[in-house]
Amino acid sequence: MTADASSPAPLGAADTARAVASGGTTARAVLRDTLARLAAAEGLGAATVVLADRAEAEATALDEAFARSGPVGPLHGVPVAIKEEVDVAGCVTTFGGRGNTTPRAEDSALVRRLREAGAVVVARTAMPEFGAWPFTESAATGVTRNPWADDRTPGGSSGGTAALLAAGVVPAAIGGDGGGSIRIPSACCGLFGLKPQRGRVSTAPEPHLWWALGTAGPLARSVEDAALVYDAIRGGEPTDRFTAGPVGSFVEAARREPGRLRVGWSVRPVTKGVRPDPVHVQAVEDTARLLAELGHDVREVDPRYPDPTLAFVPQFFAGIRTEADAVEHYGRLERRTRATYRLGAWVRPGVLEKALAATETVSAKANRVFDDVDVLLTPTIAPRPPRLGQLDGAGPVRAALRSMPMIAYAALWNVAGNPAAAVPAGVGPDGLPTSVQLVGPTDGEEVLLSLSAQLERARPWPLTAPGWPRP
């Protein structure tokens, strides 16, 4: 499936940067096209703020700089959308709710690096309040729709980011992942989404994002796009609580062959009682066969997953309570959020420290699988993309139960800290995209990028949802 011929898919981040750098177009021309696409996609509920005037000024300045001395950086002229949990100077960091009203004075480290690379910040993207759930629905901004089917969720919590990319609206967009929130919406929307190693991308000005669980990064329509953005934003700051190990160029990794790898596959979920949809089981088995045909040593394995509950749950509550404590207007938070805040009152400092210690234990046990394989292949999510309204009338307990199948394969790797990628695997009988997850060893982003790019070449995926972008 591809977009309608009357509405050709827009260029991704890498191709946009190349087009501007070659003089084939300008930052202002690219921006005008992006703004038109944002207007056409308003019904998705994906963009919460469009920064048209500011972006026009930034694009004009970039064109003037280009005329003087060439491209400012590797993302020169590339419009980028930013999730509502990441600080953008002059914008309120809403976390998907109404608790804050004062604009931030400075960019986060991530946004600063994007601008230094030549990117143009054009919009903010929707998320559930504090990113607590894998469904992008909130009292503040309503529901965000999946471009593949407007009665389905794009997943979450980076659902607004995913919807804009899947609709071909922006070349690049930033999300975050504290329990699968890059990979889950990527799976629902047919995108490539790499959660990087813990500490790979700075969380500054905050010392952490949901303690050891969270990280930020791009969702993308191609592996090359994701690699290009990561090379621009990765790296730590002195205030970061967590740091990652050394790695090489992600762009170079995406361009080289992975070599012969030991790939273990499993459809067993980490969360007991969850059953993967047969469509996702088939996607894993088909991908395993394809990898074997590509020359890899592929075999079914038992990952011997540890139980991450004692590490994940306290940090989930502590993350929400930390962010809720920092908002300006606690009383404006959603009822469900305030109930979740109260339920987490037991996570006192001593409990949190034990959870952080448990994180190290879980990580060591989870990484045992990499004694025998180089990459682990699993489903990304257990169910097909659910219908909208998953959070309607749901308190925190019901919301958590509905969320469990969505995070059943993803959340463990937030606890362990390993890089993990959602890779498009085709289209199911229901007309919605399928996805598989590739998990790498600690600091193993390069092998995931190389292998994902090989799969992308062997089994190309749709660049946008059918019928998008709309004229």
Query: Is 83 an annotated catalytic residue?
Result: yes
Query: Is 181 an annotated catalytic residue?
Result: yes
| Tokens found for residue 145 | 């729709």
Report the chain's terminal Cα–Cα distance, integer Å.
18
Whole-angstrom Cα distance, residue 173 to residue 81? Answer: 5
Query: Is 249 an annotated catalytic residue?
Result: no
- Catalytic residue selected from 108, 138, 157, 186: 157
Whole-angstrom Cα distance, residue 72 to residue 75? Answer: 8
| Tokens found for residue 400 | 């958590």
- Catalytic residue selected from 108, 158, 181, 186: 181
CA 234 remoteness from chain centre? 15
CA atoms within 13 A of residue 393's CA, in its CB half-sphere: 0
- Catalytic residue selected from 83, 186, 403, 435: 83
- Residues taking part in catalysis: 83, 157, 181
